[in-house]
Each structure stands twice: as C-alpha cells, then as structure tokens.
Amino acid sequence: MGYTIPLFDLNFDEAEEQSVLEVLRSKWISTGPKTLELENLFAQMLGARHALTMANCTVALHLAMLIVGIQKGDEVICPSLTFVATANAIRYVGAIPIFADIVGNDNLNIDPEDINRKITPRTKAIVVMHYGGFACNMDQIMDIAKKHNLKVIEDACHGPLSEYKGKKLGTIGDVGCFSFFSNKNISTGEGGMLVTNDTNYFERAKLLRSHGMTTLSYERAKGHSTTYDVVELGYNYRMDDIRAAIGIVQLAKLKDDLLKRVEVRKNYEEMLKSLNKIVLPFMGYPCFSSNYIFPIVLKTNNKERRNEVREELAKRGIQTSVHYQAVHRFSIYKEFYTHLPKTDYVAENMITLPMYSKLTPKNISTIVEEIKKIV
C-alpha cells in the first residue's frame, strides 16, 4: 500500500551518495578509517570516553552483556515494552530476563519501583530502554543499582543526543547501545554503536567485535602490524566503512534534524491536547529528546478498536505502527511470562503516528483531523 504520509522518511540526499562513492573509490570498504572517524565523532558528540561501531544495536547489546560479566543463570531486569532484541541479548549469554512494568500510560518507560520489587539475590543487571528518546528515571535507577551492586545497560536505540538532567543518554550507565537501523534518527541501513566510559569494557568489546583478534585487517594492510593473536572466542560484529561514511554525514545533520522534530512534536501536542479520548505520553518532558517516535494511547481499552483506527488511517493514506508488542507475550518468551498490566494495556491500545523532520504543519493537521473523525 502506498501512503500519502509515511511513518518515517529518511533524511538522505547527495551528501550520503557522495560519501559512499568516496569510500568505493578508496578501494577499502570494510572496517577502516571511516569507521574510526565515526567512532571518534560519536564519542565527542556524547562526551563519552569510548565509542565502538557495531554491525547493529542487537550485537552491541550482546557484547554489553558479556563485557559487564553477565553469565548463565544470572537475572537481568528489563522492560517488555521494547523491541525483542533487548531481551534476546540477555538470553544470548544464558541469563534470565525478568520483565518489569512501565510507569503508566503517560510514561512508557520502565518503572523503577517495579525494578526494585523484582530484585533477587540472582539479579546482576538492569537494562533500560529510553522509549522514543525520552529518558527513564535514571537517578532512581542508578541509586537502585548502586544499592544492590548491579550493572546498568542503556538501550539508547531511540535516543541519540537525548538528555537527562544535562547528561546524554547512553553515558549514564555502565554501557550504552545505539541503533542506526534504516528508520532511526541516525540511519546507515544496518549499524549501531557501543558507548562506555570504562576503558576495560571498551578494550574487551573491541576484541570480541572482531573474532577476538589483537589487530584489525586495516591495521595490517597499512603496515601498522604484520601479525595477530586470537585471545578470545569473539564474533564478527564489525561495521564497514561504507556504512560508517553514511553515518558521518548523518551525524552532521543530526542536531538540525532533531530540532525540527521538536517542532513537529509541539504541533502534534497543540492539536491533540483537547482530544480527551487519547493520552499523549511524555507531555511536558523537561529535557531535550530525539523524538524518535510519536505515540498516542487510546482510552478505549480495546485492541480490536485500536486496530480498526489504524486500518481507517491507512485507508486515508496515513501510515501508523505499534511500538511495541509486549515481549513477554511472544511465544518464545512464554516461560518468562509475568503479569504486567500497564505494559499490556499500552501494547494493546497504543498507536505510533508519523514522525520525521520533514513532516509539515499541514501534514500534521491532516493526521489530527482524521484521528478526530475516527476516534
């Protein structure tokens, strides 16, 4: 189906095309100088000590589990209202995901109070996902982690440049993970970034990212090393220079893109705030946000009605989505099921509306008017 107003729109132009062409002409297209440049720029942007490019955010989360020491049988508390990769990474290392509920319809982030309730002697870490680029209550979560000697991994896939009390998301916990998937704020098609201020974590992640090898192919090709050792059972989780080149261009555009998204959100909120049949999560959020998505929550408490609303909007040329289906209800997570009433409600009654920097006030007005007719 073709949509008049799509859910996302890539912020690509000739600059991305030219960056790829330059890499192709350099005749070095795998992990190399562009990858390193992107890592340095990303670390500088966040004020972090280290950044390491990844094949995607999922593998960044996997390595995050490994470098902070999560092992088989450990418990890791995480949200269920997230993409399944957040929980999958916990299972990759043989650990047990313990799902915590969200705060509520107006705050779709993991609830620190429920985190606290779910801590046991086997709990070793907390994974937070900053929903839509809006920060979790990191003061409370970090206090809980400190009290119980837990590691904190930030799934910041939605939040490049988002802030919490002056700190960039992804730099508050032990490790931060970012996504450069095709519909994210920074897009390289596939790709991601692992960020940490701990040099030991960084060095181990760097080894694990590339087969546990002590030097990279580019280093040997340029004569910086002539041999290598393999010291860990690692993986091939590297990003290539083609994607890194696109990422460098995307990074240069990011701040302007996010400022435009702020205006899109303001327009949505102004036009929708009088509609008493919906909840607008994160209204009045005090910090800067990437505004990755714009969710609304229907008050109907009826999944079928939510689906009908989405179908009617689609007929009118407006694409929507659901972020997300509750992970604890997937077939593969049956053994980890727990009662999460707030998560269940939102997963069955939320709709993600179009959000991107090129969305015009006229587009937003059209979307809102159609919602008012349908809801």
Specify if 9 maps to a domain: no
What pLDDT shows up at residue 218?
74
Domain count, the chain: 2
Q: End of a domain among 221, 251, 281?
A: 251
2, part of any domain = no
210 and 298 in a single domain? The answer is no
Between the alpha carbon of residue 100 and those of residues 15, 74, 94, the distances in Å are 42, 16, 19
Same domain, 149 and 49: yes
Nearest-angstrom CA–CA distance, 222 and 111: 50
Q: CA 329, CA 253: separation in Å to the nearest integer?
A: 38
Tokens, residue 182: 């095709």
Domain that holds residue 271: 255-374
**How far is it, in rounded angstroms, from Cα 200 to Cα 11?**
36
- Whether residue 302 is found in the same domain as residue 261: yes
Secondary structure (DSSP) of 295-330: EEEESS--HHHHHHHHHHHHHTTB--B-S---GGGS
Backbone angles phi, psi at 175, to 5 degrees: -145, 140
pTM of the model: 0.97
* Confidence (pLDDT) at 93: 98
Does residue 246 fall inside a structural domain? yes
Kindly state whether residues 140 and 92 are assigned to the same domain: yes
Q: Which amino acid is at 54?
A: M
State which of 251, 280, 310 marks the end of a domain: 251
**pLDDT at residue 221, rounded to an integer:** 74
pLDDT along the chain (375 residues), means of 10: 92 97 96 97 98 98 98 98 98 98 98 98 98 98 98 98 98 98 97 98 98 84 80 97 98 98 98 97 96 97 95 98 98 97 98 98 98 96
Per-residue pLDDT at 11:
94
Return the structure tokens found at 142: 């970090």
Residue 226 included in any domain: yes
Same domain, 290 and 340: yes
**In the block, residue with structure tokens 């005090």:** 286
Separation of alpha carbons 306 and 320, rounded Å: 11
The answer on 29 and 163 residing in a single domain is: yes
Q: How many CB atoms lie within 10 A of CB 223?
A: 7
Q: Which residues, listed in sequence order, are joined to residue 211 by a DSSP beta bridge?
A: none
User: Of 209, 232, 251, at which residue does a domain stop?
Assistant: 251
- The reply to whether 33 and 159 lie within a common domain is yes
Is the same domain home to 172 and 275? no
User: Is residue 7 in some structural domain?
Assistant: no
Would 3 be classed as within a structural domain? no
Residue 1 is predicted with a pLDDT of 61
Q: Are residues 165 and 178 in the same domain?
A: yes
Q: CB under 8 Å to 12, separation ≥6 — which residues?
A: 187
Q: In this structure, is residue 1 part of a structural domain?
A: no
Q: Cβ distance 234 to 210 under 8 Å? A: yes
CATH assignment at residue 132 = 3.40.640.10
Phi, psi of 146 (to 5 degrees): -65, -40
Give pLDDT, residue 326: 98
